[in-house]
């Protein structure tokens, strides 16, 4: 069984691509979603976060105090790295047990925004980078989240550029709304089914 990592900048369409893979029957692990839920549900991770960032990290109902954590890590690279060093191992553990529970597919997909930045790609057999023009990405995220252009741009600035990511990627999916996306996905699916079986 192959492990395929998928990534792409904010608004590139990586989740959209993963939904199509799911329609084709491919199991997809959404690492960023899992990370968010583990910060709520994993007692070890929770106590590590409290130990590192203080009791204010969680509110009375036990939910992560996102605005507090964001305010700490947003402008402090070392604190962000510290948070990631707590969360990433928990996500790897969750991924490993998720994989065991799959019914022997030819391949599975792990979607992660920071696949290359976090070195998670090293545990994947192949990686896919979804690319879209910067202006298209910004337009999509504004429409989806109601964020301002400056907010989107500042999140983009904190990730590798597409040029940097391309050096790591085995496959590129072009989601520029000109080239058809689904045929590109079907072609990769056929390839992975071949290699993975």
- Stretch touching ligand ATP by CB under 6 A, among 9-17, 42-50, 65-73, 94-102: 9-17
Structure tokens at 69: 């954590």
CB neighbours of residue 185 within 10 Å:
23
* Binding residue (CB under 6 A) for ligand ATP from 140, 162, 184, 188: 140
Per-residue interface string for the shown chain with ligand ATP, residues 175-194, x marking contact by CB under 6 A: x-x---x-------------
Residue whose CB is less far from ligand ATP, 29 or 58: 29
* Distance in angstroms (rounded) separating the CA atoms of residues 44 and 40: 10
Residue whose CB is less far from ligand ATP, 17 or 53: 17
* Binding residue (CB under 6 A) for ligand ATP from 8, 28, 48, 115: 8
Residue whose CB is less far from ligand ATP, 21 or 53: 21
Considering the rule CB under 6 A, would residue 11 count as an interface residue with ligand ATP?
yes
Asked if 9 contacts 112 with a C-beta cutoff of 8 angstroms, the reply is no
CB of 15 to ligand ATP, least distance (A): 3
- Stretch touching ligand ATP by CB under 6 A, among 7-15, 60-68, 100-108, 186-194: 7-15
* Binding residue (CB under 6 A) for ligand ATP from 3, 5, 13, 129: 13
Residue whose CB is less far from ligand ATP, 21 or 58: 21
DSSP labels for the chain? Answer: -EEEEEEESTTSSHHHHHHHHHHTT--EEEHHHHHHHHHHH-HHHHHHHHHHH-GGGB-TTS-B-HHHHHHHHTT-HHHHHHHHHHHHHHHHHHHHHHHHTS---SEEEEE-TTTTTTTGGGGSSEEEEEE--HHHHHHHHHHHH---HHHHHHHHHTS--HHHHHTT-SEEEE-SSSS-HHHHHHHHHHHHHHHH-
CB of 125 to ligand ATP, least distance (A): 22
Residues forming contacts to ligand ATP in the complex (CB under 6 A) are 8, 10-16, 113, 140-141, 144, 175, 177, 181
């Amino acid at each position: 069984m192959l492990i395929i990592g998928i990534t792409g900048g904010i608004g590139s369409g990586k989740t959209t691509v993963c939904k199509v893979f799911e329609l084709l029957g491919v199991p997809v692990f959404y690492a960023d979603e899992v990370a968010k839920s583990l910060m709520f549900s994993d007692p070890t991770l929770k106590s590590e976060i409290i130990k590192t960032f203080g009791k204010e990290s969680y509110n009375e109902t036990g939910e992560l105090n996102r605005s507090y954590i964001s305010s700490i890590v947003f402008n402090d690279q070392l604190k962000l790295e510290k948070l990631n060093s707590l969360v990433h191992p928990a996500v790897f553990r969750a991924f490993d047990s998720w994989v065991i529970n799959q019914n022997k597919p030819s391949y599975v997909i792990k979607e992660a925004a920071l696949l290359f930045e976090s070195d998670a790609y090293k545990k994947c057999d192949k990686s896919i980078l979804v690319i879209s023009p910067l202006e298209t990405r910004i337009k999509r995220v504004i429409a989806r989240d109601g964020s301002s252009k400056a907010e989107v741009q500042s999140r983009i600035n904190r990730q590798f550029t597409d040029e940097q990511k391309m050096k790591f990627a085995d496959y590129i999916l072009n989601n520029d709304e000109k080239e058809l996306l689904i045929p590109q996905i079907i072609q990769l699916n056929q390839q992975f089914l071949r290699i993975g079986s």
